[in-house]
Each structure stands twice: as C-alpha cells, then as structure tokens.
Amino acid sequence: MKQSVYLVPLPIVDGALHTLSPDVTKHTTGLMHYFAEDLRTGRRFIKSLHPSLVMETIEFAEIDKHDGPDKRLFEQWLKAGHSVGIMSDAGCPGIADPGADLVAIAHRLGVNVVPLTGPSSILLALMASGLNGQSFAFTGYLPVKEPQRSKRIKELETHSAKENQTQAFIETPYRNNPLLADLLKTCNPRTRICIAQNITADNQYIKTQTAADWKKSIPTLEKQPAIFMILA
C-alpha cells in the first residue's frame, strides 16, 4: 500500500457510521498511526470500525488544543515510512478542525494525501439552507464580547449583501442562544438566517427564514453544535 496521510472523517453524531464512506473502513484496516483531536474519541471510533483490533498495537498522538500537534513526531512517522491517519472529534479534519498544519507537512515531504469521504456539518447545512451555495464563506467563531460581536455581524451582513454571498459561522454550544439574540438584534429584518443543529441526528433541526420571521417565534436552542448562516 502506498504511503499516505489519510484524513479520516468521524460521524457528526455518535454512532452514525452510516454517514461514512466504506473507504473509511477500508483504509483504516491496516493503519497503525494516528493523530487525533481527542485520544479517547479516536480510539473509540477505530474500535467501532474494527472490533477485533488490539488497540494497544496502534499508536495515537493527541492534537493539543492549545499547542497544536507534535509536528516533529508526525515528521518522524512519515520519514520512517508509516502511513498516518488524522482525525478530528467529529466531521472532517482540516475543515473548521485541526489537521491543516499536518497536511502541509505531508505535502512538503511529498507524501500522498487522501481525503476520505464523510459528513461536513458546514456543507450539509449549506445544502439544506436554501441560501447561496455558489458563493459562500465560513468565518469560524465570531467575537464573544460586545461591541465587537455586533460589529462583526454587521460587517458580514454588509459583505453578504454586496457579494450575494452566504456567510457561515459557529459558536460554542452554550452560547447558541446569545448568538441568535445578537443576530436578531443586529441583522436587517429581511436578512435570511439559517440555523442548522444536530445534523444527521434523528432530532436534527434545520430552518431558514428572515430575521423578522425568527423574531415572531424565537426558539430555545439546545447546547449542541450548530451552524449559523446569513444571506442579506
């Protein structure tokens, strides 16, 4: 098997292995080296794919939330000829999740990079939003404090109107409701807002309507991952 770095997607919600391509199981069958955003999640996921594997034979390195991955170890593994998998907590590594720095090293060393097919909450939300999927931008997290947050929302809304571009962003789950309140306070009444939460779960919630319509019945959002999108 050709030496490669595999970008291994995880289900967005626990147990939803049906959202992954069969190639994920295929390419992780003989993979013995992984970088994972969370070691416990990574090990549990690999064990769910390959119940007969002896987990002690597999090497895992954690991607530290503050310091990032151990790039020297990653290079050592690649220079030793090992193929390596990269996993985030959920969804696709490198997309709003760790992994890009490691992939850049793989390219620099001339190692084959293989993205495996799985769910991306950003793309799934965009697909279901009814907003512009031809031009869109993902901004990540907005500022937490005021007035910076409202200023940033207004900047994104202005750019959305100028470019007819969907603007997508996320928030820490326990701040979902305050973010929605700030969106409704700041956005033009005609701006369309999509909220997509618990995507691929049985209780997924995806709804798009104008800011004015949201104000008529403001939902209480769960403390679960959500994608917010606006199109002015």
pLDDT at 66: 86
Task: Please report, as a single letter, which amino acid is at residue 108.
Answer: R
pLDDT at 110: 97
Q: Are 70 and 33 in contact (CB under 8 A)?
A: no
CA dihedral angle for residue 205, residue 210, residue 215, residue 220, rounded to 10 degrees: 10
pLDDT tens digit string along 17-71?
Answer: 999 999 999 999 999 999 999 999 999 999 999 999 999 999 999 998 888 899 9
Locus of tokens 């549990």: 44
Topology of 4-115 in CATH? Cobalt-precorrin-4 Transmethylase; domain 1 (3.40.1010)
Give the CA angle between residues 13, 226, 186 to the nearest 5°: 175
Q: Is 15 exposed, middle or buried (0-12, 13-18, 19+ CB in 10 A)?
A: exposed
Q: Are 59 and 34 in contact (CB under 8 A)?
A: yes
Those residues with Cβ within 8 angstroms of residue 129's Cβ, 6 or more apart along the chain or in another chain: 166, 194, 196, 206, 208, 229
Distance CA 229, CA 24 (A): 29
Q: Is 35 helix (H, G, I), strand (E, B) or coil?
A: strand
pLDDT at 65: 84
Return the domain boundaries, the chain.
Answer: 4-115, 121-231
Beta bridge partners of 64: 68
Helix (H) and strand (E) counts for the chain? Answer: 8, 10
pLDDT at 97: 84
Two domains, one topology: 4-115 and 121-231:
no
User: Other CB atoms closer than 10 Å to residue 62's CB: what's the count?
Assistant: 15
Phi, psi torsion values for 177, nearest 5 degrees? -70, -45
pLDDT at 93: 93
Spell out, as residue ranges, where the chain has pLDDT lower than 70.
none
The architecture that CATH gives domain 121-231 is 2-Layer Sandwich (3.30)
Q: How far is the CA of 132 from the CAs of 125, 129, 183, 190, in angstroms?
A: 12, 8, 19, 15
